[in-house]
Structure 1
């Protein structure tokens, strides 16, 4: 039996659900369009983001920066040989060749811009990559770290270190790269400086601690294979801040290159600089 008194209520209820369904539909369309736009943006660029000494790919120091990059580009965060898990298990040259394969794979997928970025030792690697391989479309170095030149030449910084480097070179020259070298590694990025003991092959040790090798940023800055957009960021409270003249100004000139300081220490520089990085990246990938 139809109750006439209930008709207005039922009609209002029907209209309410219709509006709700229409709104849900519109929101779904908006969401799909947003995904499409973001996907198209991501297809244009890929960022290989490398962590610092004794760190890990999903370091809290890189979390904010990574989340912002993901909205603009594809992002890959490989575990580096200097992580707390790997403890220097391959030479620098071997690592850089692996990174080149990653770059080639992205290009095969149609990615137009490949950016190598890093924090601390990872920043060192971005520069080494462009000197040794040289196919990056842009580079980002945040609070660059690891200084084999200083560890070798500054007496007392790490007692006996220079002799260990010389012994490693001797072992390599004599065809015995597998001989182990026990050494003290130094992490400059913390307030006092942390030390940690390792024992690794002579060839691996020498590849990272040769004072004139691929880890020496003054050398790699001069040896970029081509002029490359290069964003170099340092925290003004960083213990190892060296300024623009040390290596940045030695790279081949590119009008998009930029040196910038942020109000941060070594560890927090990636997070504090994240907006700056994104604004620069937008100009690179557009």
Structure 2
């Protein structure tokens, strides 16, 4: 009888260990940030498949419309965007998320990185075809874009002049560059500078150094994306070392990276969930 009892105990102990090994990872919330002048939903949104893939795997997934969307571009200042991200993160946590991953496409990448650096409560940042480069705009760098970036540099000069003259809260007509195309931005000088200051938190190379070491980063970029020419040196090498951080180049372009890199992105999120 004693042997039978010991066998039963051993069996259920083994069963419990097996169940624990097969249990789902802690609830993970994934916030997906769309690109500049993009949309969080709709047939043409490149983040649709990622949203569906992560949702089908049981993750808590959110994809809010951000201040740089097609409808809102560019609304308010950079800190307003950070506040909106925090609201979305808090909503995921209220639903039970114990870990947070933010996946940003294009301008969503520096926004995700900036939020993670400010709040220190993000487990992973997936930077998909990172875009929006205030430092490069200010340097008029021509080798990464089909047209000159100097138009943004000129607008930076105008915004600085307005602020120096005490007109920082007055609106002006400024210029942005979105994947080689000029875009008019009607904003106050202070709002424009919050998005385009090369020393500010919208600049990836600046905020990378402020990221806490516990936050892992996936940098995934297409070989046909102009920013790939700068390699790891522009931002990735400035990140704190983390064993889960990865730099990945794929056969894709700026728009399609979240689609063509779907398998790598989902696999990386799985690795964050499992750690």
When normalised by structure 2's length, the TM-score is 0.81
Distance 1:102 1:160, change over 3 A: closer
Show the counterpart of 1:208.
195
Output aligned runs, 1:177-192, within 5 Å.
177-188=168-179
Q: For the structure 1 residues 164 and 85, does the alpha-carbon distance in structure 2 shift closer, same or farther, using more than 3 Å as the test? A: same
Cα distance in 2, alignment partners of residues 160 and 266 from structure 1 = 21
Note the alpha carbon deviations across 1:85-136, whole angstroms, 9 max, x for none.
Answer: 1021111112112212322333233311111111111112111112222211
Cα-Cα RMSD: 2.1
- Give 1:38-187 correspondences, 5 Å limit: 44-58=27-41, 59-72=44-57, 73-154=59-140, 157-159=148-150, 161-172=152-163, 175-187=166-178
Tell me how far apart the structure 1 counterparts of residues 164 and 214 of structure 2 sit (CA, whole Å). Answer: 34
Does the C-alpha gap of structure 1 residues 164 and 137 become closer, same or farther in structure 2, counting only changes over 3 Å? same
Matched, 1:228 2:215: yes
Structure 1 SS opposite 2:227: coil
Q: Which residue of 2 aligns with 1:196?
A: 183
Deviates more, 1:173-182 or 1:68-77: 173-182
In 1, Cα distance between equivalents of 2:212 and 2:108: 19
Shift of the 61–172 alpha-carbon distance from structure 1 to 2, 3 Å rule, reads same
Aligned-partner Cα distance in 1 for 2:248–2:156: 34
In structure 2, the gaps of 5 or more residues are 1-22, 143-147
Structure 1 gap ranges (5+): 1-39
Structure-2 separation of matches of 1:263 and 1:154: 27
Q: Please state how far the C-alpha of 1:186 moved relative to its aligned partner.
A: 0.7
CA distance in 2, matches of 1:163, 1:281: 40
C-alpha change, 1:172 and 1:94, in structure 2 (3 Å) is farther
Q: Deviation of residue 260 (structure 1)?
A: 0.8
Q: The residue matched to 2:198 in structure 1 has which SS? A: coil
| Partner of residue 237, structure 1 | 224
Is this contact kept in 2: 1:96–1:133, CA < 8 A?
no
Aligned partners of 1:86, 1:206: CA distance in 2, in Å?
Answer: 17
Structure number with larger C-alpha Rg? 1
Which secondary structure does the structure 2 equivalent of 1:60 belong to? coil
Task: Show CA shifts across 1:31-89 (max 9, x none).
Answer: xxxxxxxxx95970111101111111114311222211112311111111111110211
Alignment of 1:253-264 (within 5 A): 253-264=241-252
How far apart, in 1, do the equivalents of 2:163 and 2:212 lie? 27
Q: How many residues align?
A: 243
Q: After the TM superposition, list the runs of 4 or more consecutive aligned residues in structure 1 that deviate by more than 6 angstroms.
A: none
For residue 155 of structure 1, report the CA deviation from its aligned partner: 7.0
